[in-house]
A = this chain, B = another copy of it.
Amino acid sequence: MITIKDIAKKAGVSITTVSQVLNQKEIGIKKETKERILRIAEELDYKPNYLARGLITKKTNTLGLIIPDITNPFFPQVVRAIEDTGNHRNYNIILCNTDNNQKKEKLYLEMLQKKYVDGIILTSSTRTTEEHGLLLEKLKLPLVLLDRAAASPFDFPSVYTCGYQGVMLGVNYLLKQGHRKIAYLSGPETSLVGKERLEGYMAALQNVGITVNPQLIYYGDYKAETGEKGITELLEKDRNFTAVMAANDLMAVGAMRSIKNRQLKVPEDISVLGFDNIQISRLIDPALTTIHQPSYEMGKMATDMLIRLIEGKKLEKRQVILKPELLIRESVAERKSQPSP
């Protein structure tokens, strides 16, 4: 590989001069020598060694990105936004999948630190416990939490969409369409996100004086399969609900399959409402009415925040909470009569 030394030799100048020219820090360098150096660098096809540079400047122009699983259709959009935004500002990203495994997350965090990334965007596997928070603080690295709120004793910068509001939006819409018995396909009881969305469901019902019926709640794991399974179980317990809201689109899609398999129709017999607005949701039939999460914007904002932190600037807001939106498509109908028994 060509180094500045090679250029210096060929140009008959010192490496200092070469370095200055190449970094546009020409406090005072003859136009002539400058052009000669530039020309020679071009000729030799010189490529600066970012490792060496980083060793001194303490900057790698690389961001760490830790998510549960890129295979989860919610993430590609987010990741794409982060990569785009980073790329515009001259940052590359290292992608890490944790599978919601705490140990993997910890290993990745350490690795990224060793590689001297300039900052990290983290969709954490676990709720930020005392221990976990301390671990993150110990990193001494700019950090932005994505799709997760920072747990109380800590206040890491974070950007996420309000799940409580989102589900409430959805349930309110179902109520407005005349539905009274509304089932809910929840995420795991243990997950923060799952809990928050569940609370939105309960609050929306209670707001209009409906008592929450635990028989109408099923706890899944955000995958299509548990959506199917959930509907099956719910229908066995109580066939009287006319609508179901899912904590994410994938479960909603599973629910639709399961409903259809029983010769029931969506939305005529049972209305289905999702959450996330992943790509699939508009491609299935009937197209899924859902709560849109601005995932590209989330990724973009998280990256912008992170870069501000890296540059030592202050953040206007440490917690950015984005608003979900109701996206009406075809999977919810007005309740006109009692469902068939």
Residues of A within 8 A of B (CB): 45, 47-52, 54-55, 60, 62, 69-71, 73, 75-77, 79-80, 83-84, 87, 92-97, 110-116, 138, 224, 253-254, 256-257, 260, 279-280, 283-285
| With A51-B115, A284-B285 already in contact, 11 other A-B pairs whose C-beta atoms are closer than 8 Å | A50-B114, A51-B51, A55-B55, A62-B115, A70-B80, A73-B279, A87-B96, A93-B95, A94-B94, A95-B95, A284-B284
Whether B49 and A116, one on each chain, are in contact in the complex, defined by CB atoms closer than 8 angstroms, is yes
Q: Which residue of the partner chain, among B54, B96, B111, contacts A51 with CB atoms under 8 Å?
A: B54
Q: Which residue of B lies closest to A45 (CB)?
A: B138
Q: Which residue of B lies closest to A48 (CB)?
A: B114
Q: Which residue of the partner chain, among B51, B93, B260, contacts A94 with CB atoms under 8 Å?
A: B93
Q: State whether A73 and B73 are in contact (beta carbons under 8 Å apart), knowing that A84-B97, A94-B92, A96-B83 are contacts in the complex.
A: yes
Q: Nearest-CB distance from A231 to chain B (Å)?
A: 14
Q: Nearest-CB distance from A69 to chain B (Å)?
A: 7
Whether B83 and A116, one on each chain, are in contact in the complex, defined by CB atoms closer than 8 angstroms, is no
List of B residues within 8 angstroms of A49 by Cβ: 55, 114, 116
Whether A71 and B62, one on each chain, are in contact in the complex, defined by CB atoms closer than 8 angstroms, is no
List of B residues within 8 angstroms of A253 by Cβ: 283
A contacts with B: majority SS: helix
Q: Nearest-CB distance from A29 to chain B (Å)?
A: 23
Q: Which residue of B lies closest to A250 (CB)?
A: B283
State A110–B70 Cα separation when bound (angstroms). Answer: 26
Whether B83 and A51, one on each chain, are in contact in the complex, defined by CB atoms closer than 8 angstroms, is no
State A126–B60 Cα separation when bound (angstroms). Answer: 29
Q: State whether A115 and B84 are in contact (beta carbons under 8 Å apart), knowing that A94-B94, A285-B285 are contacts in the complex.
A: no
Q: Which residue of the partner chain, among B45, B54, B76, B95, contacts A71 with CB atoms under 8 Å?
A: B76
Scoring A71, A93, A110 by chain B CB atoms within 10 A of each residue's CB, the highest score goes to A71
Whether A115 and B50, one on each chain, are in contact in the complex, defined by CB atoms closer than 8 angstroms, is yes
Whether B280 and A256, one on each chain, are in contact in the complex, defined by CB atoms closer than 8 angstroms, is no
List of B residues within 8 angstroms of A70 by Cβ: 70, 76, 79-80, 83
Would you list 19 pairs from A and B whose C-beta atoms are within 8 A, ordered by A residue? Answer: A45-B138, A49-B55, A49-B114, A49-B116, A50-B114, A51-B115, A51-B116, A70-B70, A73-B76, A79-B95, A80-B97, A83-B95, A84-B97, A87-B96, A92-B96, A92-B112, A254-B283, A257-B285, A260-B285
Q: Which residue of B lies closest to A224 (CB)?
A: B283
4 closest cross-chain pairs (CB), A and B: A95-B95, A70-B76, A71-B76, A50-B114
Whether B279 and A62, one on each chain, are in contact in the complex, defined by CB atoms closer than 8 angstroms, is no
State A94–B63 Cα separation when bound (angstroms). Answer: 9
State A84–B70 Cα separation when bound (angstroms). Answer: 11
Q: Nearest-CB distance from A305 to chain B (Å)?
A: 20
List of B residues within 8 angstroms of A50 by Cβ: 114-116
State A267–B256 Cα separation when bound (angstroms). Answer: 19
